[in-house]
Amino acid sequence: MATRSYLQAIGDALREEMERDGSVIVMGEDVGVYGGAFKVTEGLIDRFGPLRVVDTPISEALIAGAAVGAAVAGLRPVVEMQFMDFISCAFDQIVNMAATTRYRHGGQFRVPMVVRGPSGAGIHGGLFHSQNSEAWFARVPGLKVIAPATARDAKGLLKSAIRDDDPVVFFEHKRFYRSIREELPDGDLVIPIGKAQIVRPGRHLTVVTYGGTYYHALEAAETIAREDKAEVEVIDLRTVRPIDHETVFASVRRTGRLLVVHEDRQTLGVGAEVAAQVAEHCFEELDAPVVRLGMAEAHNAYAPPLEAWLLPDVAKVIERARWVLGY
């Protein structure tokens, strides 16, 4: 066992997969000589050389388009968006090219590529360095979308993403890069895509979360257990396409109540799909309305007090959970 940060776990996954499979390459802005904006790829160019760790121009569309071509040609590119906010510049290549290639060619071609990078708020990054853009991609057939919250999941899910034969968009919460550390087992740690995890069992309320609000949900559940004597079950989706609905349904059928929490905006976020699925499939078992908690309907703020007002936090999770429990 070794203690690794969230950032180090991602770097370990990249290095181990490049060692395991010579077709894995890394591409992106400053990923080579500089080692990445957050130093995720530090040391990779020294180990694998500039043909497998490729510094690119500042053009997200070019990076994603080159990755599609490289993947179709037989490589397994892992491309870094310096900030996931700028993935919008590569939207056409990811959504119209990568996601549709297998379908358009009747299964004759595959696109084993990963688009990864830092997302999320809470670091006072303002408009263009704080967005949660996973919902933009979570409705696209042909894509898999992952948002891990722990170092273990970040490593294990990234390794699965690199080995997957379809395009994967991998959101790493930048607030966790150096703040989250945990012991990781030696050996090949691989976690299956599309499987949620019950991280805290409970019998009175189900809280479904992922990414930036994972630790808020856990802390809120501990507070409610201590102060309200109610047991909150916390489920980490980990993958937001495909969503593990069966794990959520089974939990809601036990608890009768659901609160969905995520850092992304509430309107048309991943939580809206979870809520709709539960309303459709678990209506008879519900004892209270399904409730969502997300970011306020505004652009990301730079000023810390405004950013704090916009985002979900532990107190807001507790307030909404108590409302559902008391309904």
Q: Which tens digit of pLDDT belongs to each residue from 196-238?
A: 999 999 999 999 999 999 999 999 999 999 999 999 999 999 9
pLDDT band at 186 (very low <50, low <70, confident <90, very high): confident
Is beta strand 205-209 parallel, antiparallel or unpaired with respect to 258-265? parallel
Where does residue 260 rank: exposed (0-12), middle (13-18), buried (19+ CB within 10 A)? buried
- Catalytic residue selected from 129, 204, 216, 262: 129
Tell me the helices (H) and strands (E) count for the chain, helix number first.
12, 14
Q: Which residues share a beta bridge with 80?
A: 28, 116
Query: What integer pLDDT is reported at residue 187 of this predicted model?
Result: 85
Q: Which fold has domain 197-325?
A: Rossmann fold (3.40.50)
CA distances from 103 to 73, 110, 160, 257, 327 (A): 17, 9, 22, 39, 46
Tokens describing residue 62: 């070019």
Query: Is 216 noted as a catalytic residue in this protein?
Result: no
Mean pLDDT over the full length of the chain: 97
pLDDT, tens digit (0-9, with 9 covering 90-100), for 137-158: 999 999 999 999 999 999 999 9
CATH class of 2-184: alpha beta
- Give the pLDDT band (50/70/90) at residue 126: very high
Residue range 84-116, pLDDT digits in tens: 999 999 999 999 999 999 999 999 999 999 999
Overall average pLDDT of the 69-97 stretch? 98
Please, which pLDDT band fits residue 1 given cuts at 50, 70 and 90? confident
Residues of the chain with CATH 3.40.50.920: 197-325
User: Which ranges constitute the DSSP H helices of the chain?
Assistant: 6-20, 44-48, 60-72, 91, 101-104, 134-137, 151-163, 214-227, 245-255, 270-281, 304-310, 314-325
Is residue 233 within 8 Å of residue 207, measured between CB atoms? yes
> How far is the CA of 247 from the CAs of 221, 253, 255, in angstroms?
19, 10, 13
* C-beta of residue 209 within 8 angstroms of C-beta of residue 251: no
Domain with CATH 3.40.50.970 in the chain: 2-184
For residues 284-307, average pLDDT: 97
